[in-house]
Amino acid sequence: MDRHLSVFLPYDRPPQHEDQLTRAAMIVMRTTPLARDALLARVGAPPSARLPDAELDIQARDVLKVPASSAADELTLRRLISVFLSPDVGRDLSGTVIAERIREQRLDGVLRFGDELVVVIESKIRGDEPSDQAEQLRRRGIEIEQQEVKTLGWHELIEDWWALLERGLLAPAERVLMDDLIVFTEEHFAHLLPFTTLGRAGENDLRRQRRLVALMKEVVPGGNVEPMRRPDLGAVVMLDEADRTTQRIALVPDGDNLALCTWLAELKPQAQALYRTGRAQRLAEFLARQPGTWQARPNVHLAFRNAPAGQRLYMKCSLEIGEYIRNWAGADFAKVDAYRHDTIRESLWPWLRERHYAAPEDDERLETFLERLRTRDEITSDRYGVSAGLIA
């Protein structure tokens, strides 16, 4: 037995080192057959009961140990599965042919079931890491009948193990060990824990973000769903711009609930599609009929094209939403245009104040915004537009 798999012997690694998590997982699989079977099921292998006795190893050099009385070229392994265990979601290495590794190797984890099956684990705790160590193995002349590469998410494996706890399927000692693993992972590797529900994601922002992305992908299959840029938390899907009133729809936390949001009329073509087609009136009527379910608020702002949120001037509009929509659907729409920064203070700003799109407390913020634009105009001749935006 590999001495590193004894819980009674110290392991010389910092607690947050990825080898610590691999070791903990291997100890759980060594002592808990159901945990071992959960991994086997995930990679398409038969359960332990249908295999020879398991031998587990970590930090190993060899896929299959060669007895002193044998040569490697005399050994045959029926099936080899190389597992890339990482935080990645949706990564696919199926069809990858395992290449012969030239250099020496250090295998993070190995599960050997005689000459019937060997599962080799390459463990990563950060996403988008190279997978070459799972795709290249030094087999030392052993003949292998069937070999394949599988991807597995830490969150998927721990999800299965967590379910064993919740369903009461573990013996008392197994339950203590599994609970210790979950607590250890929560403390040092929280981003790897499952996110199949927001409750399981807990207060960890990364796991909550991943859960929201997964939910949005279920709602918009095939859509270009991405996590929102920090510090925002949520999932956003980008839409094509043809005849659209909006270009993005997001799923975001709202207290104990979730809110489906969109940002209407941020660009002039979107404002035209909303305010010049009758859609704005239909939106106002819809909001009036659904006061407790769907809401909207003004989002009027000044910005240059592709400006990040931190470089826009969002004003404190005091108009009621129905009046706001009616104004922009009427004569005010003519002001949705581009302006040079040196004309905003004298010509545009008084009009925004008079029409209550901006508040007195916005005056000081305007000066900061204009100073930023003045510096920008020394480099470029970009023009700056007023957006008749809506957040719904």
pLDDT the model gives residue 203: 81
Contacts of 79 (CB under 8 A, 6+ apart): 45, 116, 117, 118, 144, 145, 146, 147
> Quick one: 60 and 106 in the same domain?
yes
Measured from the Cβ of residue 242, the count of other Cβ atoms closer than 10 Å reads: 7
Q: What is the pTM of this model?
A: 0.65
> Quick one: 131 and 238 in the same domain?
no
> Quick one: 49 and 179 in the same domain?
yes
Share the mean pLDDT of the chain.
Answer: 87
Tell me whether residue 365 is exposed, middle or buried, using C-beta atoms within 10 angstroms of its C-beta: 0 to 12, 13 to 18, 19 or more: middle
> Quick one: 257 and 283 in the same domain?
no
Q: Which residue type occupies 111?
A: L
> Quick one: 18 and 149 in the same domain?
yes
pLDDT band for 380, please (50, 70, 90 cuts): very low
Note the pLDDT tens digit of each residue in 255-305: 888 888 988 988 888 889 899 998 988 988 888 888 878 888 899 998 877
pLDDT the model gives residue 379: 38
Q: Which two tokens stand for residue 302?
A: 């000044």
Residue that terminates a domain, selected from 192, 209, 224: 192
> Quick one: 173 and 309 in the same domain?
no
Domain count for the chain, please give it: 3
CA 63 – CA 81 distance, rounded (Å): 10
Residue that terminates a domain, selected from 192, 227, 247: 192
Write the DSSP symbol of residue 126: S
Q: Which two tokens stand for residue 265?
A: 């009329």
> Quick one: 169 and 35 in the same domain?
yes
Residue 119 has pLDDT above 90, yes or no: yes
Q: Where are the alpha helices (DSSP H) in the chain?
A: 18-31, 33-42, 132-135, 154-166, 172-188, 198-201, 205-219, 268-275, 279-289, 321-329, 341-343, 349-354, 362-377
> Quick one: 80 and 55 in the same domain?
yes
CA 352 – CA 366 distance, rounded (Å): 12
Tell me whether residue 255 is exposed, middle or buried, using C-beta atoms within 10 angstroms of its C-beta: 0 to 12, 13 to 18, 19 or more: exposed
Give residue for tokens 């005056």. Answer: 363
> Quick one: 177 and 277 in the same domain?
no
> Quick one: 82 and 109 in the same domain?
yes
Range 68-79 average pLDDT: 74
284, 325 Cβ separation under 8 angstroms = yes
> Quick one: 135 and 215 in the same domain?
no
Residue 43 has pLDDT above 60, yes or no: yes
Between 138 and 304, the more confident residue is 138
* Domain of residue 142, residue span: 3-192
pLDDT band for 71, please (50, 70, 90 cuts): low
Note the pLDDT tens digit of each residue in 334-377: 988 888 877 888 889 999 999 999 999 999 999 888 887 766 54
Residue that terminates a domain, selected from 215, 230, 261: 261
> Quick one: 63 and 113 in the same domain?
yes
